[in-house]
Amino acid sequence: MEAFFTRQGEKAFRASQLLKWIHQLGVTDYDAMTNLGKGLRAHLSEHTCIGLPRIMHAQHSNDGTRKWLLRLPDGNSVETVFIPEAERGTLCISSQVGCSLNCSFCSTARQGYNRNLSAGEIISQLWIANREMSAFGQEQRVVTNVVLMGMGEPLLNFDNVVRALRLMMEDHAYGLSKRRITLSTAGLVPGIDRLREECDVSLAVSLHAPDDELRDRLVPLNKKYPIRELMAACKRYVAGQPRRRITFEYVMLAGVNDSPRHAYQLLRLLERVPSKVNLIPFNGFAGAPYETSNTSAIDVFRDILIAGGIMTVTRKTRGDDIDAACGQLVGRFRDRTRRSIRMQEMVRDPRP
């Protein structure tokens, strides 16, 4: 942006002024940006635009969670979720229109895939959430934490995601600490290594199984980047940073991955990786092939990990009454992969 203003014959500091107007004060009308000269405002109005997705639908959960369906300029839509808590407010952001991976327990994956989101479309989700929660102009913003755990695999949209992450951390924009931004990946090993070099925000890994045979079924990406390679990448990510941990997400599927045997296997797997484990009760959706583990099974699994020295929490399900819980985001878009059509055909005729 500094280069843009310099090309216009303006001082480079105009970039920080514009960033503050847009991202800190929520102003998108150039005429309202009073510390910019009239000539510059007119030039910006004529040659540039500040475009935002349109809110097509907003839902409010009984637990305070909010979900927005955002329509993009090409007609596709994605979903964004805000989760309020006593000490913080977490925004779950989408990085792709749909998802090109095919994790078997995820509703988003069943809808197929259309395209990557631009950096602007990613950051606009944060802008809109701040506006909708009436946070602009306040000393303390409602959104204190961001997780890239919405629709899509962030590391498959690496460049646009990193541009948006840097803007989230920019002092003249949102000023978030990299410890307050978490990127969740299904295990794209080259992307993990590249992220460590370019923008080492907090990392979460969707693990969901302690061995390759089971993970191949649940997370097909594992066939390309098996657990041994994934664990090695996780170790590299936190190397030289003794206070950092990888968060491992583990969805609890009844009779599939929730036995004490699986818990002990997971303990051995994470033995030398600085770890925190989030146990996620499976959130059902129409046609789901799984059921969530019962509370006692989750508690036994959690206690085994804690006794083994791994920090473990059971994630509280939020927003499931509005399909805003983990794995339930679907949006509205044209599926270029035809996966959604294939899944419908399988439901009608389940024979192999």
CB 212 within 8 A of CB 222: yes
Decide if 79 is catalytic.
yes
Q: Where are the alpha helices (DSSP H) in 78-188?
A: 107-110, 119-132, 158-169
Residue with the two structure tokens 């996780």: 234
| DSSP-assigned letter for residue 316 | P
Cβ neighbours for 84, distance < 8 A, ≥ 6 positions apart: 64, 65, 142
Q: How far apart are CA 328 and CA 110, in angstroms?
A: 10
- Please list the residues that pair with 70 across neighbouring strands: 55, 78
168 with 158: CB under 8 angstroms?
no
User: For the chain, what's the residue count?
Assistant: 352
What's the token pair of residue 204?
A: 């979460």
326 noted as active-site residue: yes
Query: Strand 275-281 and strand 311-314: pairing?
Result: parallel
Beta strands in 86-126 (DSSP E): 89-92, 96-98, 113-116
Residue type, 56: M
Task: Count Cβ atoms below 10 Å from residue 92 Cβ, excluding itself.
Answer: 28
Please give the structure tokens belonging to residue 264.
Answer: 């002990």
- Which of 194, 192, 179, 186 is closest to 149 using CA atoms? 186
Residue at token pair 């890994």? 205
Q: Are strands 145-148 and 246-252 parallel, antiparallel or unpaired?
A: unpaired
> Of residues 79, 121, 153, 249, which has the active-site annotation?
79
Q: In DSSP terms, which residues pair with 82 in a beta bridge?
A: 66, 91
DSSP helix/strand/coil, 122: helix
- Exactly one of 99, 199, 234, 326 is catalytic; name it: 326
Q: Quick one: CA dihedral 308, 202, 91, 216, positive or negative?
A: negative
Segments in 33-182 forming alpha helices (H): 38-47, 107-110, 119-132, 158-169
Q: Which residues are catalytic?
A: 79, 326
